[in-house]
Amino acid sequence: MDVPKIGITCGEDVKEGKVFLTNYYLRCVQRAGGIPWLIPSIEKNISDYLSNLDGIVLSGGVDVDPLYFGEEPIVGMGEITPGRDNFEIKLTQAAIILDIPILAICRGVQVLNIALGGNIYQDILSQVPGVYKHTQDAPKWYPSHTIHIIRDSILEGIFKSETARVNSFHHQAVSSLADGVLSIASTSDGIVEAITMPNKKFVLGVQWHPECMADRFKEQQQIFNEFVKASIR
Ligand SMILES: [Mn+2]
């Protein structure tokens, strides 16, 4: 049985000319039994990446250019990385067609939903009345808000509960879901916190950062374990 090779997309520091990824992702993939492969945002390599990799992690990062969902930028929108947006959206579309397992984290959830034709809030603070604090001022591992999980979903299987506490570092969020995409967890202020695609082998998007919690909470590592297991060919 081959050890699954897991491609992980990277952040870009445009000013410094650097590509980067936090260690957390690598540790979680490794502990789950996969080999982490960092994949830089090179569009012409997408088919090579996908023919060599068994699963894709869409990692966290900055905002997505609203051009990709047909909107003009509102004042509350943050930094964008155009090369990364273009690459990740095309990578996602190709991976979905090939039914390659995807774990989408934070920004990755936005990318996943947009790539499939859905929409997002550019800035929940200015667009969603009564929204909770989703950009916590607390340690990265600390679970700062509650999510409500849909019964019989993959997340209920992992958390063995219809509620869980998770961390939160986002000011964007999924608004209208793309075709074939289901919301399987949300906060009680109405923000979508997790999505899946029931007709695919494994597609899970979580709006929080399980990789930062996995050292302390085994359910958060279990998210990576299930993903890597589904990536075994
Ligand atoms: Mn949140």
Q: Render pLDDT for 177-196 as a digit per residue (tens, 0 to 9).
A: 999 999 999 999 999 999 99
pLDDT in tens, 80-120: 999 999 999 999 999 999 999 999 999 999 999 999 999 99
Instruction: Provide the residues around ligand 1 (an ion) whose CB is within 5 A.
Output: 134, 168
In the reported structure, the alpha carbon of residue 191 is separated from the centroid of ligand 1 by a whole-number distance in angstroms of 7
d(CA 112, CA 102): 9
Q: Is 218 helix (H, G, I), strand (E, B) or coil?
A: helix
* pLDDT surpasses 80 at 1: no
In sequence order, the β-bridge partners of residue 63 are: 80
Count of other CB atoms within 10 angstroms of residue 68: 19
pLDDT over threshold 80, residue 37: yes
Q: Please name the residue ranges forming H helices in the chain.
A: 23-31, 46-52, 82-97, 107-115, 124-127, 154-159, 218-230
CA of 97 to the centre of ligand 1 (A): 29
Give the span between the Cα atoms of 81 and 84, in whole angstroms: 6
Answer yes or no: 211 catalytic: yes
Annotated catalytic residue within 106, 134, 170, 171: 106
Distance of CA 130 from the midpoint of ligand 1 (Å): 13
Asked if residue 46 has pLDDT above 70, the reply is yes
CATH number, position 32: 3.40.50.880
186 CA → ligand 1 middle, Å:
8
Residues 190-228 pLDDT 10s: 999 999 999 999 999 999 999 999 999 999 999 999 999
What is the spatial distance between Cα 80 and Cα 218, in angstroms, rounded to a whole number? Answer: 33
137 alpha carbon to ligand 1 midpoint, in Å?
12
Reply yes or no on whether the pLDDT at 132 is more than 90: yes
Q: Which domain covers residue 179, as residue numbers?
A: 5-230
Query: Which residues are registered as beta bridge partners of 14?
Result: none
Q: Return the pLDDT at 2.
A: 84
209 is catalytic: yes
Catalytic annotation present for 106: yes
Residue of 12, 211, 212, 226 marked active site = 211
Catalytic residue chosen out of the listed positions 145, 170, 171, 209? 209
Q: What percent of the chain has pLDDT over 70?
A: 100
Q: In the block, which residue shows the tokens 């900055």?
A: 62
For ligand 1, the distance from its centroid to the CA atom of residue 41, given in whole angstroms, is 26
Query: How many whole angstroms from 107 Cα to the centroid of ligand 1?
Result: 12
Please name the residues in contact with 228: beta carbons below 8 A apart, sequence gap of 6 or more: 4, 6, 29, 32, 33, 34, 55
Going from the Cα of 144 to the center of ligand 1, the distance in angstroms, rounded, reads 8
Pick the residue with more confidence: 181 or 14?
A: 181
- Flag whether pLDDT at 54 surpasses 70: yes
Strands 203-206, 102-105: pairing is: parallel
Domain tally, the chain: 1
157 burial (CB, 10 Å; 0-12 / 13-18 / 19+) is exposed
Mean pLDDT value across the chain: 97
